[in-house]
Amino acid sequence: MTTPLEPPPTDGVTRICWAPRRGDYHLAVASWDKTVRIYDALTPLTSKAIHTETGPVLDVAFMRDSSQFICGGANKKVSIWQVGGRQPDALGKHDDAVRCIEWHQSSNQIFSGSWDKSVKAWDPRNKGATAHVQLGGKVFAMHCSDDRLVVGLSTKQVAIYDVRVLAQPMQVRDPPLKYQLRTLRCMPNGEGFACGSVEGRVAWEYFEPGPGKVKYAFKCHRKQLDGVENVYPVNALAFHQEHGTFASGGGDGVVSVWDGVARKRLWRLPEFETSVSSLAFSGDGSRLAIAVSYTYENGPMKTTPPNKLFIRNVPDADVRPKAKA
């Protein structure tokens, strides 16, 4: 069953994320309308709180629970909000828009990635960055595992850092995909990451290749129209924390769920009215949040389709890897 969340943001949805604790169904939604909205998915009739920033919000992440979140965006600032609060606590800023925000639970750090070609680390108890790393390109995508911070750059390279030491990257990988990266997520088991590009491909990469750990890439989010294959960007990836399967969302308005190890698609949803801009599984994996919001793959339109948010209940059988024949 797929349930809409009301009311949705009034402009494009940039990111959705769940509170990290299992059984906590609060959802944060960042938008170009300069807001972060908090929804309680157990009572999805109205948003619980609306927090307004001074510019479009490009990313958001909850901290230890659903009482606090971090956000960043076009105002170049990294801010901590108390849910329901009137004003944020500004940690610091970048020289250009903050594209990516990550909360690292075990080290109590915040990571921010910016179009100013840098990543910064922050201690939420203090003002000012604890680390500042200059990169070879703008940060377009970023995610962290227990021990690694993985950064996708405008150069299409991927930089991998030890979360404890950001001074030098552990590795800078050549582009895993030919065209520009749109999204990147680390595997729940910490063995690697997946990333998606504007050319409708997903790359499956391991940090340490070995027996049974071979990287590969595959085509997705494409459809035939009048005998011509139309290719759409992969805007969003989301891993299921328990099973390690993952969902992808594209500019074609389709959500698919994949078994990356077996290299198989498990299922897909019927096509939405417009692009899928962000996806997130809840902490217990029982719900999939879907943001349907035009991402301009076909350029400006006189009238854009309305933004919509959906929560889909996910039976365990739908995301469990299929047994080998």
> How confident is the model over 187-211, as pLDDT tens digits?
999 999 999 999 999 999 999 988 8
CA separation for the pair 177, 124 (Å, rounded): 35
Q: Give the CA distances from residue 47 to residues 7, 83, 219, in Å, rounded to whole numbers and listed in that order.
A: 7, 12, 36
**pLDDT-derived band of residue 45, with 50, 70 and 90 as boundaries?**
low
Instruction: Give the pLDDT score at 176.
Output: 96
**Per-residue model confidence as pLDDT tens digits over 6-38:** 899 999 999 999 999 988 999 999 999 999 999
pLDDT at 143 over 90: yes
pLDDT at 227 over 90: no
Strands 47-52 and 35-40 turn out to be antiparallel
Let me know: does 17 contact 283? Beta carbons within 8 Å.
Answer: no
Question: What's the token pair of residue 76?
Answer: 């170049």
Instruction: Give the pLDDT score at 307.
Output: 97
3-state secondary structure labels for all residues of 177-230: CCCCEEEEEECCCCCEEEEEECCCEEEEEECCCECCECCEEEECCEEEECCEEE
Instruction: Give the pLDDT score at 325.
Output: 55
Share of the chain above pLDDT 90, in %: 86
Instruction: Give the pLDDT score at 44.
Output: 59
Residue corresponding to tokens 């606090």? 68
Question: What's the token pair of residue 78?
Answer: 């990294």
**Residue 105's CB: how many other CB atoms inside 10 A?**
11
Let me know: does 92 contact 120? Beta carbons within 8 Å.
Answer: yes
pLDDT at 291 over 90: yes
Mean pLDDT of 51-68: 96
Domains of the chain: 2-315 (2.130.10.10)
Q: Which one, of 11, 8, 45, 48, lies nearest residue 26 by Cα?
A: 48
Q: Which of these ranges, 139-143, 224-228, 235-239, has the smallest mean pLDDT?
A: 224-228
Mean pLDDT of 174-198: 97
Mean pLDDT of 291-313: 91
Q: Which helix (H) or strand (E) holds 318?
A: helix 316-319
Q: Which one, of 203, 267, 290, 197, lies nearest residue 235 by Cα?
A: 197
**pLDDT-derived band of residue 324, with 50, 70 and 90 as boundaries?**
low
Share of the chain above pLDDT 70, in %: 98
pLDDT at 157 over 80: yes
**Counting every residue, how long is the chain?**
325
**Per-residue model confidence as pLDDT tens digits over 229-278:** 999 999 999 999 999 999 999 999 999 999 999 999 999 999 999 999 99
Instruction: Give the pLDDT score at 267.
Output: 96
| Mean of pLDDT over the chain | 94
